[in-house]
Each structure stands twice: as structure tokens, then as C-alpha cells.
């Protein structure tokens, strides 16, 4: 207790720096979930993607990212064990933020799309198991997170595979694909509006007083789906076949229709992603702030101050601008060749998987679902359409994420204890 009273301000300022660094890592690595397919499919340029992501990621993080956050991230450790030594929880959360931020910096520099959730989870498990005791960790919860390595990408991959086959049957294999696209794409636009609204309503918006149940979210999402569809129909009317556009690539005009769809998907997914994944950076920071403000009281949950949301949103934007292009290139260009129609199938599959997981309470990674969606689209064209070397390095980075976060966190935890104790 005396350490928190004596060094509280220094600990909080240092924690803010670490939290900003972790949010920077989320922006640098995880924003590819929302933007990679749009850039890879040429629906958006890298500059347009970054501008859209800056606006919608920040809006999602600030407006919808601040529900009462479970500050002991994902229920992995028991706060009751630390009630007598709150300074250990502060050191642990600080070391977790720094460890996850360092790992995300390393992964982003290599262009590996890793899970920010698993990075912070691995870090918390590391400091808790070694710094406190193995009994402090809820190993059942950790096991379910490891299981999501398989569940997330496989689920999204199957949905993306089926979605792309439906596109081929209803549009690409028709006698006049452009006319078929104009008729069928509005229904897919409805699907985008519906699914992404469900993601946003289920994963966030409690911060602004919209704590709604699944039934209410369903009704709102249907309304949003129809509204999106009407806007899409208006834009689609302006798209016409350009003479000679289809000479080199038979579906050039059709892909222009899907490029419109990808703009909707990019904006909405960026908002949903910002609202969901900012918690990885600011959840531990909120825990530290709550303990220091209360003079050492350890709580399972604490309200989210607005200044922490602003810090998290600013960190995400900074990471995206400075380093986001590397992981965007991996998702968009290096796994398989994407067109707007393929990118749409992959993104919608990822969003659908997140909605199902939100309802069922499965721990899930948006990164893993998006990569699974891109793999599913690639497989629909045959195994030869996939870059197996890149896929192998991505899978290896997933396996390494938890132990890497844990090892770094243990090292930083004992360094902080050595400095302040």
C-alpha cells in the first residue's frame, strides 16, 4: 500500500506510456483486420484505407470502446489473491502492457498478423503464474483461448468458402455477370449492413448507454441492413459498363460493383474493430488507474475514464499511420490474390464469425477469423491459389504469441519489482 501512496503518480504516468505503446501495437497490427482485404482487392488505395481507418477506428474506440471493462482481462486471474498486495497487480498489468506492445512491434515489423487479445492474455498469464502463483491463473479459460486458434480461422474459412461459392453461382457464372451483379449485390449489401451492425451492437456501445439484448440488436441490425441496402442501390445505379474494360479481365465491370460493397465493409468493420479491440490496451490501464485512484483497493471491474479512451484511440491511430501498411500487405496481398468479390466474402465471413462467437461467449480473435476468411476464399479457387510459405509463418507466429507475451511479461515484472520494491 505504501508503494502506491508514495509512487502512485509515477506508476500511473509510466502505465499511460505503456498503454499508449500497446494501443500503438493494436493500430500497427490489428487494423489489417478491417483494411487488409479492401487494400489487397484494390477497392481502396492504402492512403484511402488509412484515412477511413483513422476516422472509424478512433470513433469506435472512443464512442463504443468504453463499457465497464473487466479489468482483470478475460477473467484470467483471481483479484482476491492480490487484495493485500495491490502493487503486484499494478506491476503485473504494467509489465503485461509493455510485453504485449513489444511483441506487437516485433510481429508488425515482420508483417505477421497476430492476435492482440492473445498477446495481452499471454502476458497476464506469464506474470500471474510466475510472479504470484500458478493457482492464480484460471487455466480452463486459457485452454479455451488456445482452442480458439483452431475454432476462429476454421469457422471463418468455411463461411468464406461457402459465400464465395454462392457469389460464383449467382453472379460470376451467369450469362451476363454485370446485370446479375446489379440484381444480387443489393442483397449482399443488406447482409453487410446487418452483420456488421450486429458486431457493433453486441461488442460495444454500452459506454454510451445502449446496453441492449440480442433480440433488440437483431431488430436494429435488420433496420440498418435495409438502410445500407437503399444507399447501396443508389450508388450502384451510377455504375455502368465501360467499353473495353472486360477485354483483359472478364469480370472487371462486376468487380467495380463489389468495390462499392467493400467501401461499406471497410468503414463498418473499422468502427466495430476499434470498439472491440481497444480494450486490449486500455483494460489493464483502467485497472491500474482504478487501484491508484482508490489508494490500493483491488476491484474486478472499474469505470472507464474518458481520458483513457482518448489515449487508446490516439495510440491506435498513431500505430496505423506509422506501421500499419506492413500487416495490411500480408493480409491483402501475400496470402492469396484478392479481388473485391473475394475480399468481400472474406470480410463478411470474419464478421459473421465474430457475431456467432459474441452470442455464444467463445473467446475469439478478429485476426484469426480474418486470416481464416482469406484462406477460405483462396481454397475456393484451389490450394495452388494460396501462398503456403506465408501461411506457415503466420501460423508459427500465432503459436509463439502466448509464450512470447508471457516470457516478456515475466522479465518486465521482475524488473519493475526490482525498481520499486
The residues, any chain, with a CB within 8 Å of residue 2's CB and separated by 6 or more, are none
Is the confidence at residue 211, as pLDDT, over 70? no
Question: What pLDDT, on a 0 to 100 scale, did the predictor assign at position 179?
Answer: 85
Question: What pLDDT, on a 0 to 100 scale, did the predictor assign at position 261?
Answer: 81
Confidence band of 338 (pLDDT split at 50, 70, 90): confident
Rounded to 5°, the CA angle 276-282-285 comes to: 160
What pLDDT, in 10s, does the model give residues 363-419? 677 788 888 998 999 888 878 788 888 888 888 888 899 899 999 999 999 999 888
CB 1, CB 291: distance < 8 Å:
no
Cα–Cα distances (Å) from 47 to 39, 141, 320, 344, in that order, read 9, 39, 11, 19
Average pLDDT over all residues of the chain: 82
CB 274, CB 35: distance < 8 Å:
no
Percent helix / strand / coil, the chain, rounded to 5 = 80, 0, 20
What pLDDT, in 10s, does the model give residues 136-163? 888 888 887 778 778 888 999 999 999 9
The residues, any chain, with a CB within 8 Å of residue 148's CB and separated by 6 or more, are 362, 363, 364, 365, 368
Q: Which residue has the cell 472487371?
A: 252
Q: Which residue has the cell 492512403?
A: 47
What are the residues facing 386 on neighbouring strands? Answer: 336
Separation CA 17–CA 384 (nearest Å): 45
Confidence band of 420 (pLDDT split at 50, 70, 90): confident
Residues comprising the chain, all counted: 421
Question: What pLDDT, on a 0 to 100 scale, did the predictor assign at position 29?
Answer: 87
Question: What pLDDT, on a 0 to 100 scale, did the predictor assign at position 72?
Answer: 47
Q: Which cell numbers in the block locate residue 106? A: 516485433
CB 198, CB 412: distance < 8 Å:
no
Question: What pLDDT, on a 0 to 100 scale, did the predictor assign at position 414?
Answer: 93
What would the mean pLDDT of 26-30 be, rounded to a whole number?
86
C-alpha closest to that of 136 among 76, 70, 87:
76
Rg (CA), the chain: 22
**DSSP-derived secondary structure letter, 302:** E
What would the mean pLDDT of 347-375 be, rounded to a whole number?
78
Separation CA 15–CA 251 (nearest Å): 52
Residue 199 C-beta-side C-alpha neighbours within 13 Å: 31
Ramachandran class of 213: left when φ > 0, alpha when ψ lies in -120 to 50, beta otherwise? beta
Kindly give the residue spans of alpha helices, DSSP state H, lying in 133-176: 139-167
pLDDT above 90 as % of the chain = 14
Dmax (CA) of the chain: 77
CB 367, CB 90: distance < 8 Å:
no
Is the confidence at residue 280, as pLDDT, over 90? no
As to burial, measured by CB atoms within 10 angstroms (0-12 exposed, 13-18 middle, 19+ buried), residue 234 is exposed
CB 137, CB 410: distance < 8 Å:
no
What pLDDT, in 10s, does the model give residues 119-137? 888 999 999 898 888 888 8
3-class secondary structure, 371: helix
Helix axes 388-420, 86-109, angle to 10 degrees: 150
What would the mean pLDDT of 24-38 be, rounded to a whole number?
82
C-alpha closest to that of 148 among 340, 319, 363:
363
**DSSP-derived secondary structure letter, 70:** E
Flag whether the pTM goes above 0.75. yes
What pLDDT, in 10s, does the model give residues 52-110? 888 888 877 777 665 544 544 556 777 777 777 788 888 999 999 999 999 999 998 88
Question: What pLDDT, on a 0 to 100 scale, did the predictor assign at position 71?
Answer: 42
Amino acid at each position: 500500500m505504501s508503494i502506491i501512496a508514495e509512487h502512485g503518480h509515477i506508476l500511473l504516468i509510466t502505465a499511460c506510456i505503456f498503454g499508449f505503446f500497446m494501443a500503438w501495437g493494436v493500430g500497427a497490427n490489428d487494423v489489417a483486420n478491417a483494411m487488409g482485404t479492401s487494400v489487397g482487392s484494390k477497392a481502396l488505395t492504402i492512403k484511402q484505407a488509412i484515412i477511413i481507418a483513422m476516422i472509424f477506428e478512433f470513433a469506435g474506440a472512443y464512442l463504443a470502446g468504453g463499457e465497464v471493462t473487466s479489468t482483470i482481462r478475460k477473467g484470467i486471474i483471481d483479484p482476491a489473491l492480490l487484495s493485500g498486495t495491490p502493487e503486484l497487480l499494478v506491476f503485473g498489468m504494467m509489465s503485461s502492457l509493455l510485453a504485449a506492445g513489444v511483441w506487437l512491434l516485433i510481429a508488425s515489423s515482420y508483417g505477421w498478423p497476430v492476435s492482440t487479445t492473445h498477446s495481452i492474455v499471454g502476458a497476464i498469464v506469464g506474470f500471474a503464474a510466475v510472479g504470484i502463483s500458478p493457482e492464480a491463473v484460471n487455466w480452463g479459460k486459457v485452454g479455451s483461448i488456445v482452442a480458439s486458434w483452431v475454432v476462429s480461422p476454421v469457422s471463418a474459412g468455411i463461411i468464406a468458402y461457402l459465400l464465395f461459392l454462392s457469389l460464383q453461382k449467382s453472379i460470376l457464372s451467369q450469362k451476363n455477370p454485370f446485370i446479375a451483379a446489379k440484381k444480387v449485390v443489393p442483397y449482399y449489401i443488406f447482409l453487410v449492413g446487418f452483420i456488421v451492425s450486429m458486431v457493433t451492437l453486441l461488442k460495444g456501445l454500452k459506454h454510451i448507454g445502449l446496453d441492449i439484448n440480442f433480440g433488440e440488436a437483431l431488430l436494429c441490425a435488420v433496420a440498418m441492413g435495409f438502410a445500407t441496402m437503399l444507399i447501396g442501390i443508389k450508388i450502384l445505379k451510377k455504375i455502368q459498363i465501360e467499353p473495353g474494360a472486360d477485354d483483359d479481365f472478364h469480370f472487371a465491370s462486376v468487380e467495380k460493383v463489389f468495390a462499392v460493397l467493400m467501401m461499406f465493409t471497410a468503414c463498418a468493420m473499422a468502427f466495430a474493430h476499434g470498439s472491440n479491440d481497444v480494450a486490449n490496451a486500455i483494460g489493464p490501464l483502467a485497472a491500474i488507474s482504478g487501484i491508484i485512484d482508490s489508494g490500493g483497493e483491488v476491484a474486478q471491474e472499474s469505470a472507464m475514464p474518458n481520458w483513457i479512451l482518448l489515449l487508446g484511440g490516439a495510440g491506435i491511430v498513431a500505430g496505423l499511420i506509422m506501421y500499419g501498411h506492413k500487416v495490411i500487405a500480408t493480409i491483402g496481398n501475400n496470402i492469396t490474390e484478392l479481388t473485391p468479390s473475394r475480399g468481400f466474402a472474406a470480410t463478411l465471413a470474419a464478421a459473421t464469425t465474430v457475431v456467432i462467437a459474441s452470442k455464444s461467449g467463445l473467446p475469439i480473435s478478429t485476426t484469426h477469423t480474418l486470416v481464416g476468411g482469406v484462406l477460405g476464399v483462396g481454397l475456393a479457387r484451389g490450394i495452388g491459389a494460396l501462398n503456403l510459405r506465408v501461411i506457415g509463418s503466420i501460423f508459427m507466429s500465432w503459436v509463439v504469441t502466448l509464450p512470447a507475451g508471457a516470457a516478456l511479461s515475466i522479465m518486465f515484472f521482475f524488473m519493475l519489482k526490482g525498481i520499486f520494491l
